[in-house]
Structure formats: C-alpha cells, structure tokens
C-alpha cells in the first residue's frame, strides 16, 4: 500500500514584478494558508517518507510556510519536471519514487495536480470528494490518495482512492475566496 499526498502551492503574488513566472513569490494570504495546512497535517499525524517538489519560488515558499505550521522539516527533493507539469509527467515522477518510500508528498502546480487526481481516482466515489477536486483545486489544498500497489512503478490511472481533500477554507473560512460585494 502506498499513500500519495498532493499539495498545490499556496496563493502567489501577481503584484510582484518578477520577470519569470518561475520566480513569482507567495503573497501574505498564501503564507498564512500554507502554515495553516501544515498545522492541520501535523494534527492528522501525516508523515512523508519522500517529498518531491517543483523548484519554483512559490513552491519553495509554500514548503517553508508548511514546515512552520507542521513543526518539522520536510526535506524536499526538487524535480524540475514538476514545474507546470501535465498529469502524465507527474505520473512519471511518481513512477520514479524509490520503493522504500511508502508515503510521498508531491508539491506542484495546477492544472496538473487536479488532472492527476482525476486520472488516478475513478469517478465512482460516493462521498463527493472527487467532485470537489473536479470543481476546483484551490491553492494550498491537499489531496491524499491511497494506492493498493506494491511499488510506485505500479501506479496506474484509475487505481487510487481519494481518502481526503482539504482546502484552506475548510480549516479557516478567512482563507477562502475573496467575496465580491
């Protein structure tokens, strides 16, 4: 049995005048959301044998804020393939995960993460969690998928079960979308 947790980077700052999208930092709300998600991960006693992440600035800053809330370093391995990757490329990254890791945290970007959940989790879930992912995979959200496989190379489309989908607004309504009046 393997457990895959997907974390989308937190809300980034579009107001920041960076030359490359790759260098775009988080905004204040994004840092708060990531720390909140980190605290929640700790409260659920989530742990990860391997953390693989995009090297983009907003992902690195997300991980720093998550670690603050989580209370421990996550020691990520940065893989450039994850930056703005498709679901298929993310599946390649998963297949390359060492077999001695039973729990993997993959940190990256949309739409790839949302597409990966929809690729791995069949559309027969009764609880509606997959529908929430399909509707929107907000920044700083985590999706946890259990996979009944002996190794990461055996992960195939349709082979997972979504065990949880947690959005920052589920933990603190102030971290939800801005309301237009």
pTM: 0.95
The crossing angle, in degrees rounded to 10, of helices 112-120 and 87-95 is 70
What pLDDT is attached to residue 128? 82
Q: How many CB atoms lie within 10 A of CB 98?
A: 10
Q: Higher model confidence: residue 126 or residue 8?
A: 8
- Reduced DSSP (H G I as helix, E B as strand, rest coil) percent helix, strand, coil of the chain, to 5: 40, 20, 40
% of the chain residues with pLDDT over 90: 87
What pLDDT is attached to residue 125? 58
The crossing angle, in degrees rounded to 10, of helices 57-70 and 28-43 is 40
Cis geometry, peptide bond prior to residue 178 (ω within 30 degrees of 0):
no
In the chain the domains, ranked by start, together with CATH numbers, are 2-143+151-156 (3.40.50.1240)
Q: What confidence tier does 17 reach under pLDDT thresholds 50, 70, 90?
A: confident
Per-residue pLDDT reduced to its tens digit, 85-108: 999 999 999 999 999 999 999 999
Once rounded to an integer, what is the mean pLDDT over residues 125-147?
90
| Secondary structure letter of residue 41 according to DSSP | H
* Spatial distance between the Cα atoms of 61 and 12, rounded to a whole number of angstroms: 9
């Amino acid at each position: 049995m393997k457990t895959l947790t997907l974390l989308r980077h937190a809300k980034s700052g579009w107001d920041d005048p960076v030359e490359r999208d790759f260098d775009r930092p988080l905004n204040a709300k994004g840092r708060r959301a990531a720390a909140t998600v980190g605290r929640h991960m700790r409260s659920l006693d989530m742990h990860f044998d391997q953390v693989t992440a995009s090297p983009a600035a907003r992902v690195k800053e997300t991980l720093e804020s998550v670690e603050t809330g989580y209370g421990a370093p996550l020691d990520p391995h940065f893989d450039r393939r994850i930056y703005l990757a498709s679901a298929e490329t993310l599946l390649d990254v998963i297949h390359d995960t060492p077999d001695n890791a039973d729990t993997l945290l993959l940190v990256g970007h949309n739409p790839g993460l949302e597409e990966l959940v929809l690729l791995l989790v069949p559309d027969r879930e009764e609880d509606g969690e997959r529908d929430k992912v399909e509707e929107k995979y907000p920044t700083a959200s985590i999706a946890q998928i259990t996979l009944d496989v002996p190794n990461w190379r055996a992960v195939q489309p349709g082979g997972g079960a979504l065990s949880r989908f947690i959005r920052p607004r589920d933990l603190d309504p102030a971290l939800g979308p801005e309301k237009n009046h």
